[in-house]
Amino acid sequence: MKDFEYFSATSLQEACSLISQYKDVGKILAGGQSLITLLRQKLISPTCLIDIKGLKELDYIEFDKKSGLRIGALTTHRAIEKSSLIQEKYNVLSEMEKSVASVQTRNWGTIGGNLCSADPIGDPAPSLIVLGAKLKLVSAKGERVVPLEDFFTDYFTTVIEPDEILAEIQLPPPAANTAVEYMKFATIEAGIKIVSTSVAVTVEAGTDVCKDAKIVMSAVAPIPLITKKAAEMLKGKKLTDDVIEEAAKMAASETDPTTDVHASAEYRKEIVKVLVKRATKKAFEKAKKA
């Protein structure tokens, strides 16, 4: 690891002013569960780190019936997993968090750091996207809100400006007659993920008809992939096994995965089909009861 200058910010305001000063050479350090490996492997070598992990003001989970859920960017994965509020209102997030890396990583790593590291195999992004998450980005100049589905631009790259800090993840209140399901496939538990998907299904109340659907995949493209055509195929239809099967095939055709040591592209596409089918079915069954 190369040497760097280190600042431990004592407030968000101070962090913003430091990063505006060091934006060309500095990086924000949160839990560092991805960053420290990257530094050690010299994949990046910033000459300055601004540590925000200690900022209590960005560590919270709050819910309001009207405006929905707000998660401070420095909330740990473990806190989200264990939050009774999230288990009750956005259970898919708690379930998803159980499969993020290992307990040790979840204890120290933060949700904001995970999103900003923009690893295409990251677990949280697909579920947060189908739930309609928005991100509050702040800088010394002000703040802006960006939908999470517009946040990622390429492998490990986002729209975040060099002087901006992710402060908060915002989710709308849980939608009526809707269920979200997250499924992940890895050859060994806690191993490198081959594919994962998050599917949201909204039904017309009291019917088998799908009113709305959203399907997001990870590990099949440089960024979390929204398979729009597949979701479109579900809308307005009774979700029979045949309809779900066709949509799952469409989802697979919309992906363009790569071959690597963990799985071939062909295999990944096949797994997409299986996971989308299973997750859609499960979300549909749950949505009918929601």
Partner 1 sequence: MNGAKKTINVKVNGESYELSIKPKMTLLQLLRNELGLTGTKQACMDNSCGACTVIVNKMAVKACSVLAMQVNGKEVTTVEGLASKDGKLSILQEAFLEHSAFQCGFCSPGKLMSSTAMLEEMEDPTEEDIRRDMEGNLCRCTGYVQYLAAIKSVVQKRKEGKR
Binding site for partner 1 (CB under 8 A): 1-6, 8, 29, 32-33, 36-37, 39-41, 47, 49, 51, 53-54, 78, 98, 101-105, 107-108, 189-190
How far is the CA of 163 from the CAs of 140, 141, 158, in angstroms? Answer: 8, 9, 13
**Residue carrying structure tokens 């934006």:** 23
Task: Kindly report the number of other CB atoms within 10 A of residue 20's CB atom.
Answer: 17
Nearer to partner 1, 5 or 256 (CB): 5
Task: Kindly report the number of other CB atoms within 10 A of residue 218's CB atom.
Answer: 25
Nearer to partner 1, 54 or 236 (CB): 54
Of 180, 195, 78, 80, nearest to 131 by C-alpha is 180
- Cβ-count burial of 88 within 10 angstroms (0-12 exposed, 13-18 middle, 19+ buried)? exposed
Contact 200, 214 (CB under 8 A): yes
Nearer to partner 1, 5 or 143 (CB): 5
Tokens representing residue 45 in the block: 């070598």
Shortest Cβ 102–partner 1 spacing (Å)? 2
Shortest Cβ 108–partner 1 spacing (Å)? 5
Shortest Cβ 66–partner 1 spacing (Å)? 34
Shortest Cβ 265–partner 1 spacing (Å)? 25
Nearer to partner 1, 43 or 85 (CB): 43
Shortest Cβ 196–partner 1 spacing (Å)? 17
- Cβ-count burial of 2 within 10 angstroms (0-12 exposed, 13-18 middle, 19+ buried)? exposed
Nearer to partner 1, 44 or 190 (CB): 190
